[in-house]
């Protein structure tokens, strides 16, 4: 999370400790500078819906060229689930068709962070 501005880092750190699952999308320009953040809270403790239409609309409104996706695991285990992998691939494919790169998907849990990019999953 070193690449984000302090406000984004603080937001993601708070997400990592939340008791319900949520997801955030950080919208970036072509240089990797932050354009905006969209956070979706879930009413469920262990899953969150990813509304592709909303994410695409917000990305287009920001004229974003790249996105970092992050979500938390309130269980405290940052290991990505099979559903996390399916969702990431679905989001990446949708964004790619519009010329927007999914740079990474971070799974946050307490002090742990798993990067899909670092694991070769993206």
Mean pLDDT of 61-74: 94
Q: Which helix (H) or strand (E) holds 61?
A: helix 52-62
pLDDT digits 0-9 by tens, 39-66: 988 766 566 778 889 999 999 999 999 9
- Does the structure show a pLDDT above 60 at 32? yes
Locate 82 and state its tokens: 């099979």
Q: Does pLDDT of 118 surpass 70?
A: yes
Domains, the chain, in order of start with CATH, read: 6-115 (3.40.140.10)
Confidence class for position 1, pLDDT limits 50, 70, 90: very low
- pLDDT recorded at residue 2: 46
**Cα dist from 60 to 26, 36, 74, 99, whole Å:** 13, 12, 30, 10
Tell me phi and psi for residue 98, to 5 degrees. -105, 5
Select the more confidently predicted residue: 5 or 16: 16
Distance between CA 85 and CA 105 in Å, rounded? 9
Report the chain's mean pLDDT, rounded to a whole number.
Answer: 88
Q: Is the pLDDT of residue 87 over 50?
A: yes
């Amino acid at each position: 999370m070193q690449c984000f501005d302090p406000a984004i880092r603080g937001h993601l750190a708070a997400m990592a400790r939340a008791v319900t699952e949520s997801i955030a999308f950080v919208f970036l320009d072509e240089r990797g500078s932050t354009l905006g953040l969209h956070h979706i809270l879930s009413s469920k403790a262990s899953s969150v819906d990813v509304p592709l239409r909303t994410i695409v609309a917000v990305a287009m409104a920001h004229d974003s060229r790249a996105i970092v996706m992050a979500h938390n695991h309130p269980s405290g285990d940052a290991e990505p689930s099979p559903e996390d992998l399916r969702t990431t691939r679905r989001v990446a494919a949708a964004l790619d068709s519009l010329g927007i790169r999914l740079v990474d998907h971070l799974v946050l849990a307490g002090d742990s962070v798993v990067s899909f990019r670092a694991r070769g999953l993206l």
